[in-house]
Amino acid sequence: MPYFTEKDMDQYQGAAQYENPPHIYALADNMYRNMLIDNESQCVIISGESGAGKTVAAKYIMSYISRISGGGPKVQHVKDVILQSNPLLEAFGNSATVRNWNSSRFGKYVQISFGKGGEPIGGKVTNFLLEKSRVVQQNRGDRNFHIFYQLCAGAGKNIRSTLGIGALDYYNYLNHSGVYKAPDTDDAKEFQNTLARQLL
C-alpha cells in the first residue's frame, strides 16, 4: 500500500510533526516518544463510522511501534504475538458487510506494556460489545463471522467428519443473506492461517 511502507516509517521516526504531512505514523511516533521522554502512559482512541479504517489504523500503529522499538529475540516474540493476535481476533469477531468486507463486529482495547528502554514486554487485548445477534441473523448482503466460512471451506476430512461439517448453504445461520464469499478472500487459506495462530 502506498504511504505505508518501511520508507515511510523511516521518514516519520523521530521527526518533528511540522516536518512531514499528517500521517498515522506521525501520531504513533509522537505517542511513543512522549512515553519515553515523559515516562507517562499514552492512549489513542480510534473512532469513525463503519468502513472508515479503524482496524487498519490500529494495525499500522502497532506495526510502526513494533518496528521502531528495538529489542532482542524475547522482545521480538512479544511483538509477534501482539501483531499476530489481530488476524485471530478478526476470524472470530469480523464479518463481511455491504460496506466493508472485513468489518469488526466488536470493540477492543489493546494494552501494550513497555520496558524502561522502550521495548514491548507484554500486552493484553480486551474485547467487548461483540455483535452476538449476527450469529443467528444477518442483513441481506452481509455474512456471519469469518470463522464459520473458514471452517466450512478449509477443514480437512478428519475435522469435517468429526464435526459433521456440510456445505455452507446447508446451515440456516449461514444462508440467510445469500452471501457466501467475501471479495478477495480465500476462506480455506484463511482457516489455515487461523489454525497457525492458535499456537499464540
Which segments are annotated as binding site for ATP?
48-55
Binding positions: 48-55
What is the C-alpha separation between 26 and 64, in angstroms, rounded? Answer: 10
Give the count of alpha carbons within 13 A of 58, CB side only.
24
What is the C-alpha separation between 196 and 42, in angstroms, rounded? Answer: 32
C-alpha closest to that of 13 among 3, 1, 25: 25
Quick check: helix, strand or coil at residue 145? strand
